[in-house]
Structure 1
């Protein structure tokens, strides 16, 4: 399965924040949108970095009670993991494993077209496995043929 197929089943919007926002503002955004990852940008289409729930936890562990009021620019991840719309699911899984990240930005050239999360990959892989299981069951049972 290609990344572009996964994106078709998702909302196309990529949530972004500015580098001057505080961590607590971003955490509120996470809660309001039921997300755990944002792109950090100065203007639409720009990508200075990303911020995830894990990055926020790491900031609290490192900076303590000062972390919630720190600016996103101070705690964001600058090493952004990316893939293309034509990458296969196992390739993106390898990126996540190698980079130890749960989110990968999907780019088409230099344009961000979406985000793929580990949850998206698990969902689609599970659907593939269930379909394969049903095909095998129908084959063994001799059903499903016309």
Structure 2
């Protein structure tokens, strides 16, 4: 059975909790991504930061992205998937939480990200179409 480890994108870049949103935005631009995991000083996942978070929670509120930290935008526990969880568990978790990207953890260590695009490349069309319907509702 296909696991998260089989389809994830490894070598994920984190933004640190004390890094500014401006620094995070530059990382996103350099990497060509729309989200980054937020990692603490202990290298544990603290949340996810999206380009939408930056626009809605910082810019639209007139806050200074050079002073707001990524850690300030981390909200509760991030939705994750285990490295050995199956593709069906990934699909179910994404659908239940209406997310397009899931950090993949092995124990407490972030080892990758599974995005809808990763699933589309790895699985037949039908489950992917059902997922898109579920997260777009």
Query: Number of residue pairs matched?
Result: 123
1:111 corresponds to: 109
Deviations 1:70-95 (A, max 9, x none): 22122123331111122222221221
Q: Which runs of 5+ in 1 are unaligned?
A: 130-146
Q: 1:39 and 2:37 equivalent?
A: yes
Match of 1:68 among 39, 48, 65: 65
TM-score (norm 1): 0.71
TM-score (norm 2): 0.75
Higher RCO (C-alpha under 8 Å, 6+ residues apart): 2
RMSD (Å) for aligned C-alpha atoms: 2.1
Q: How many Å separate the matches in 1 of 2:116 and 2:16?
A: 24
Asked if structure 2 preserves the Cα contact closer than 8 Å seen for 1:21 and 1:72, the reply is yes
Q: Which has the larger radius of gyration?
A: 1
* Structure with the higher fraction of residues in strand conformation: 2
Q: Which runs of 5+ in 2 are unaligned?
A: 126-137
Deviation >3 Å, runs of 4+: none
* Structure with the higher fraction of residues in helix conformation: 1
